[in-house]
Structures are given as structure tokens and as C-alpha cells.
Amino acid sequence: MPKQIILAAHFPGVNNTTVWSDPRSGSQIEFSSFEHLARTAERGKFDFFFLAEGLRLREQRGLIHDLDVVGRPDTLTVLTALAAVTTHLGLAGTLNATFHEPYELARQLATLDHLSGGRAAWNVVTSHGAFFGENFRRGGFLDHADRYRRAGEFIEAARTLWDSDGGDFAITSSQFDIKGRFGVPRSPQGRPVVLQAGDSSEGRDLAARYADAIFSRHHKLDDAQQFYRDVKDRLPAYGRNRDSLKIIPGVSYVLGDTDADAQEKAHHIRRQQVTPQTAILLLEQLWNQDLSAYDPEGPLPAVDPVLDEADTIIKGRAGMFPDRLKTANEWRALAEAKKLSIRDLVIEVTGRQNFIGTPDRVASLLNEYVQTDACDGFILVPHLTPAGLDDFVDQVVPLLQERGVFRTSYESSTLRANLGLA
């Protein structure tokens, strides 16, 4: 039997991937939107629904970012409500190990696992720095160097609590000194599924040690294959087999009647995603300075980026440019060669959809990635709320099912079992 593909549905995020100017774009906050996407994913026999967490509104140039969709629900509350309108779909959410505490979060996740009949999943991330901390009791208490230590100790603590089966516990580590009684009996999955998204070597080790799945950012086939090998090779050191950790990149796609039609649609979507104002803001994120005086239809700045990583122009979003100067020079060279304006350049270099083509072509590409060990499945990120996955479920899922690489009915009622995890 060929490898089976894992599929997940990402609720559209608060960034310029999500197009709000399209007439088909619906509410980003009303429950009906979450319900629509979750029901669509379940109709398509997806493994899970995925929701990111908000801790503070993003800022740029010291102002609240106003160009992108913004305003989202509390992760756990909306996932638990979705348990009422679905029966088999996994319910995964990001919950930050820095701004939650183990006893309360473990209790909430175990509650979700009980109330959903074994469908809870937790994407563990950590943050440092004062920006998010300004909304929380302890402020920016965590040093950058301690991020993975806290994440690891947090997962260990949560496991201890879940494994206690509602019993007594005592945990002492560098981050935590807690004890008492955990008032939740063993939940249907025992331990909710753990996802991890870090990409550094430390992040990969953390995943190899604790995670059931990685929400990866590697999309190019060779790059993804290399990442896949790297992470899976780390597993034996932790006494784990290669199938016990699933690699699932977040990806976007565009479908068309022909490949050319799909390419045209993809270009149109990218123009919607990169408005003239957004083009300047995205350029500022690389240049790390105010570029509001520049014309989005004009040439790139001649000045170089500001190389001050301690004080970046954007707050509330992970850094994307390890070498600003190098990337800026590449962008300038590309703009020069192709005669691109700022906006055209930004459209060219950011946010290109990963899989573009007819349903048949997209199905083939997705399957190729999985069968050649570039990944074990995909977290699909639609650009429209809430109907952005309708076409995929209607047109691509049946093709994957025909090829025998995707389920036609759920194997189990728990997410852990549907993912093929022990």
C-alpha cells in the first residue's frame, strides 16, 4: 500500500495571505465561518483543523498593523465549540508555552480531549521578548536561550499531568515548581497529539524528542526531502521509530480548469494579497525602516536595510530574513533584470502558492511529495474565509482517494489513531 497522505485545514490567518477584499470573503470571527471550514474539512475526511493563537495585535512602525485581516478568537474556546459540530475531525491549536502554565493548559487540553472524544492537538510554540509579555503577568520573562528548555519542560510537565490519570503530581524543573492533584482522569487519547513548529536545530531536536508531528515550512521538493531526512534521522537517538513523527508543511494551492488558467488565477490572487500598501509594508520588513515615502509602482530603495535585529520595525511576527543585506541585493538585482516595480517585485518574491494547476496536477504533485519522502502530508492554508477549501475537497480529495493514497472514511474516532500514531 502506498503511503497515506495526512491533510489538515488551516483557518486563514491574520496576515496578507488571507484576502479580505474578495467579494466571497466572509467574517473572520463569527462562529459560522469556523463551522463552515471545519465541516468542509470533515466532509473531505481531513485529519485535523488547525487554528493559530493570538497574543497581541501586530505592529509596524510602532502602529497597529491595519492592512491585514485581524481579530481572532481564543484558540481553546473555539476548538471546543467545533467539537459540537464535527465528529471525527481533529482539533489542533497553537498555544504558547511562554504565556500559558502547565497545570491550567494541561487541564484545558484534557478537557478538550474528553469533550471531543479524543480529537485534541496542541501546537507548542514559545516566544521571548517583551512585546507579547506586555499583555501578561510575567512580562517578557523568558530569555531567548531558554525558549526550548521551557518548551521541553512544559511538554514533560503536561505529560506527567496527563499520565497521572487524575492523581497527585509533583514537578520540579528549571521552569516549574508545581504540585498537587490533577483533577482530570485519563482522556481518550491519553495524551493529546503534540505538534511542533520550530525549525532551528534545537527546534528539530525538541520535535524529535517530544512531538507527534511537525508543522514545517519547507515547501521545495529537495529542501523538504532534506528536512525530512534530517528530522527522521534524529528519532533513533530518542528511541523512536521513523513513523512516530509526521512531517506536515503548511502549503497553499490554486486550482484551475487548465494549468494556464490556474497560473492566471494564482497571479490574480497574489495581486489581491499584495496591495500597493502591503507591498511597502512587506518591503519595510526586510529593509527594517520606514519606507512609506516610496512609490509602490516605482523602483526599489537604493539605501541598504537597517541591520538591527534587536529593534525590528515589525513586532509580533517571527523574523523571516536571516541575512537582510544579501536578500536586499538579490531583490534589487531581480527587479533590475525584470524591470519590476516595488509591488511587482514583492508579488514575485513573496507568498507564491506552492501547488498550482488542474486538480489532477495538484493531486499528482501532492502525492509525489509524500511518496518521495518530502513530507507525510499537508496543512492547507486557504486564502479565503470561510469557503477557501471547498474546491479542494470537491475536486482534489476524490482524485487522491482514487489513487489510493487518502482515506474514504475515518479509521478511528481519535486523531492519534487517524494519524497512524501509537
In the annotated binding site, the residues are 94, 144, 148, 200
Binding residues for FMN: 94, 144, 148, 200
Least spacing, CB of residue 127 vs other proteins, in Å: 14
DSSP 185-250: --BTTBS-EEEE---SHHHHHHHHHH-SEEEE---SHHHHHHHHHHHHHHSGGGT--GGGSEEEEE
**Which ranges of 292-358 does DSSP label H, i.e. alpha helix?**
324-338, 342-349
Nearer to other proteins, 101 or 304 (CB): 101
Least spacing, CB of residue 335 vs other proteins, in Å: 21
DSSP, collapsed to helix, strand or coil, labels residue 316 as: coil
Q: Is the separation of the CB atoms in 34 and 399 below 8 Å?
A: no
Least spacing, CB of residue 116 vs other proteins, in Å: 8
Least spacing, CB of residue 162 vs other proteins, in Å: 13
Instruction: Give me the residues that bind other proteins (CB under 8 A), please.
Output: 20-21, 29-31, 35, 54-57, 63-64, 66-74, 76-78, 80-81, 83-85, 99-101, 103-104, 107-108, 111-112, 114-117, 134-137, 139, 166, 176-181, 183-185, 187, 275-278
DSSP, collapsed to helix, strand or coil, labels residue 121 as: strand
Least spacing, CB of residue 336 vs other proteins, in Å: 26
**Residue 218: HSE in the Cβ half-sphere, 13 Å Cα cutoff:** 27
Nearer to other proteins, 91 or 400 (CB): 91
Q: Is the separation of the CB atoms in 195 and 124 below 8 Å?
A: yes
Nearer to other proteins, 141 or 321 (CB): 141
Least spacing, CB of residue 286 vs other proteins, in Å: 19
**Single-letter amino acid, residue 240:** R
DSSP, collapsed to helix, strand or coil, labels residue 397 as: helix
Nearer to other proteins, 104 or 311 (CB): 104
Nearer to other proteins, 85 or 334 (CB): 85
Of 303, 270, 273, the closest CA to residue 288 belongs to 303
Nearer to other proteins, 62 or 239 (CB): 62
Least spacing, CB of residue 91 vs other proteins, in Å: 11
Least spacing, CB of residue 118 vs other proteins, in Å: 11
Nearer to other proteins, 9 or 231 (CB): 9
Least spacing, CB of residue 112 vs other proteins, in Å: 6
Q: How far apart are CA 281 and CA 58, in angstroms?
A: 12
Q: How far apart are CA 223 and CA 191, in angstroms?
A: 31
DSSP, collapsed to helix, strand or coil, labels residue 125 as: strand
Q: How far is CA 48 from the centre of its chain?
A: 12
Provide the β-strand partners of residue 215.
248
Helix pair 147-163, 102-115: axis angle to 10 deg: 50
Omega into 296 within 30° of 0, i.e. cis?
no
Q: Within 10 A of 25 (CB to CB), how many other CB atoms are there?
A: 20
Of 91, 1, 14, 22, the closest CA to residue 414 belongs to 91
